[in-house]
Amino acid sequence: MSTPSSAQTGSLACGLDQAAKEDVPTTIVVFGASGDLAKKKTFPALFHLFQRSLLPKRLSIIGYARTHMSPEEFHKRVTSHFGEDVDKKSVANFLQLCTYFSGKYDVADDFRSLRKEIEDREKKMKPGGSGNRVHVYYMALPPSMFVDVATQLKNNVYDDSCTNRLVIEKPFGHDLKSSRVLSKEIGSLFEENEIFRIDHYLGKEMVKNILTLRFANVFYEAVWNRHYISNVQITFKEPFGTEGRGGYFDEFGIIRDVMQNHMLQVLSIVAMTQPQSLDAEDVRDRKTEVLQRILPIQLEDTMLGQYVASIDGSKPGYKDDDTVPKDSITPTFAQCVLHVDNDRWRGVPWVIKAGKALNEAKMLIRIQYKDMPNSLFPNLARNELVIQVSPKESVYIKTIVKEPGLSTNLAMSELDLTYKTRYHDISIPDAYATLILDVLNGDHSDFVRSDELDEAWRIFTPLLHKIERERVEPLPYEYGSRGPEGAYQFVEDRVGYKRT
């Protein structure tokens, strides 16, 4: 069977090759270019787009950081995660677009020199294009540097004759108050429509797909409400601990690390009503409305855990890491029940669950339907729609069928759309490639708006403060296990989830 073309099925509004088509002279400055994110995600994503001719034709990429590096060292660093079998010529062509600039993050002279570098490189770009120019400032930096860099940019580099875009990485603050301070400071320098707050989950294929599944298929949307849905679970599991990042993680914990951002973003897309259009502001309005209808999460509705060494002792516990305080109460596992108090969802419990050092890698959304009313069949299991975001992109519906053959028994089966099988000739891009392309296209749909951020912190801040103030002890669970004892029972008891 052939894959349907976008002409047959319609397409999302944001023309994916818009930047390349318009051919606008573009400069991307990556701050923190010596760092981990730049090496593992930002530059590989840029290269991915370059290989597919999706970057603007007139382009300059400048890596900026304090570390002194020769051009060769810089090139070696940024290509280190391009993979084994890349085309060397393609890499060489890409590197011609890239240069490195060493400077401090709070020194005006360094930023003035950066401006000169940008201008010199723009002059060298092939003539032509629309006359318009785009400057993208990508902060692959620790958050403590965001305001310094944004201030220097505004004072010494910002050019109001071109389109300026500031890309910020999470974490955006530590709680509601600090997030508001950060938003205010950045907001006094850059307009909201110039700011792109990255939550990389919004760039993942299956997360982007939720909107399409829901609003392009009549049979999903028709039963997407409290009349048919019993409960929804959004689960994030990682099979590794905080190895090497314990010190960083201890300041945040699993709630700040993935729940307040990635999981709440996913929830808001699953729960939103249909936006008026695919325009970024319409989409973000609908997501914000969902968040506004969620009450702050209570400790009573929450279970916290922290991993200890694996049973066989081969994997260390969280507190075995020397960078983690021995009396740390930071949760590495959490699950909480919340409600979206609107007409569509009233009475439907949502569970968000996240943990490190668990038994498997998995991110999925599990929507469990209600029992079949007036059923012909006794003791029917429930239908479920599962959207698996990772590691295996898939959508499947747990469906009851007659056992094949002469039997008249019922059996649970699946209508299964596993992407690897159905779209085996399509490579799914990393979330960062998708998001960088959106930045180049000026499309904010998959970036977090300041009011969404505010709501997300409002929902979690009282719980976070209570945990810290009362030093709530997390329950222990073994590295590689399914979480603290009672974790699954908690979900069954609290939301009426029935195993299928």
**Residues ≥6 apart with Cβ < 8 Å to 270:** 210, 214, 232, 234, 365, 367
The Cβ-side half-sphere exposure at 82, using a 13 Å CA radius, reads 22
Residue 66 binds: one of ligand BG6, ligand NDP, none (C-beta under 5 to 8 A by kind): ligand NDP
User: Is 262 a catalytic site residue?
Assistant: yes
Cα separation, 284 vs 278, in Å, equals 10
The least distance separating ligand NDP from the CB of residue 360, rounded to whole angstroms, comes to: 21
d(CA 174, CA 461): 9
Comparing CB distances to ligand NDP, the nearer of 32 and 349 is 32
- CA atoms of 234 and 354, how far apart (whole Å): 8
**Cα–Cα nearest to 229, from 395, 366, 377:** 366
Q: How many Å apart are CA 143 and CA 170, to the nearest integer?
A: 7
Residue 142 binds ligand NDP, judged by CB under 6 A? yes
Among 9, 11, 17, 66, binds ligand NDP (CB under 6 A): 66
Q: Which of 49, 140, 351, 467 binds ligand NDP (CB under 6 A)?
A: 140
CB 81 → ligand BG6: shortest distance, Å? 14
In whole angstroms, how far apart are CA 471 and each of 12, 151, 331?
A: 47, 37, 11
Question: What kind and span of H or E run contains 234?
Answer: strand 229-237
Indicate which single residue of 258, 280, 294, 297 sits in contact with ligand BG6 (rule: CB under 6 A).
258
Query: Shortest Cβ distance from residue 390 to ligand BG6 (Å)?
Result: 6
Identify the CA nearest to 11 among candidates 195, 160, 208, 155: 208
* 57 contacts 49 by C-beta, under 8 angstroms: no
Binding-site string for ligand NDP from residue 78 to residue 117, where x marks contact by CB under 6 A and - marks none: ---------------------------x------------
Shortest separation between residue 104's beta carbon and ligand NDP, angstroms: 8
Give me the residue whose beta carbon is nearest to ligand BG6.
Answer: 257
Among 257, 393, 438, 446, binds ligand BG6 (CB under 6 A): 257
Q: Figure out which of the listed residues 58, 133, 170, 449 binds ligand NDP, where binding follows CB under 6 A.
A: 170
Q: Is 143 in the site for ligand NDP (CB under 6 A)?
A: yes
Which residue from 25, 28, 30, 32 is in contact with ligand NDP, where contact means CB under 6 A? 32
* Cβ contact 56:24 at 8 Å: yes
Residue 153-192 contact track with ligand BG6, rule CB under 6 A, x = bound: ----------------------------------------
Q: Tell me how far apart the 2 most distant CA atoms of the chain are, in Å.
A: 82
In angstroms, rounded to a whole number, what is the distance separating the alpha carbons of residues 17 and 91? 21
For residue 200, the minimal CB distance to ligand BG6 (Å) is: 6
CB 448 within 8 Å of CB 172: yes
Q: What is the DSSP string of 92-152?
A: HHHHTTEEEEE--SS-HHHHHHHHHHHHHHHHHSPS-S-S--EEEEEE-S-GGGHHHHHHH
Residue in the shown chain whose Cβ atom is closest to ligand NDP: 35
Cβ distance to ligand BG6 smaller for residue 133 or 200: 200
For the bound state, the minimum distance from the C-beta of residue 69 to ligand NDP, rounded and expressed in Å, comes to 8
Catalytic site residue from 48, 135, 200, 262:
262
CA angle 207, 431, 278 (to 5 degrees): 50
Any contact of residue 446 with ligand BG6 (CB under 6 A)? no
Contacts to ligand BG6 from residues 185-244, by CB under 6 A: 200, 238
Contact range with ligand NDP by CB under 6 A, out of 17-25, 136-144, 172-180, 301-309: 136-144
Binding-site size for ligand BG6 (CB under 6 A) equals 6
CB burial of residue 70 (10 Å; 0-12, 13-18, 19+)? exposed
DSSP letter, residue 277: S
Which of positions 172-211 make contact with ligand NDP (CB under 6 A)? none
C-beta of 205: minimal distance to ligand NDP in Å?
A: 18
Region of 36-44, 234-242, 291-299, 377-385 interacting with ligand NDP (CB under 6 A) = 36-44
From the list ligand BG6, ligand NDP, none, pick the one residue 35 interacts with, judged by a Cβ distance below 5 to 8 Å according to partner type. Answer: ligand NDP
Contact 354, 220 (CB under 8 A): no
Residues that bind ligand NDP (CB under 6 A): 32, 34-38, 40, 65-67, 105, 140-143, 145, 169-171
Residues that bind ligand BG6 (CB under 6 A): 200, 238, 257-258, 363, 390
Catalytic positions are 262
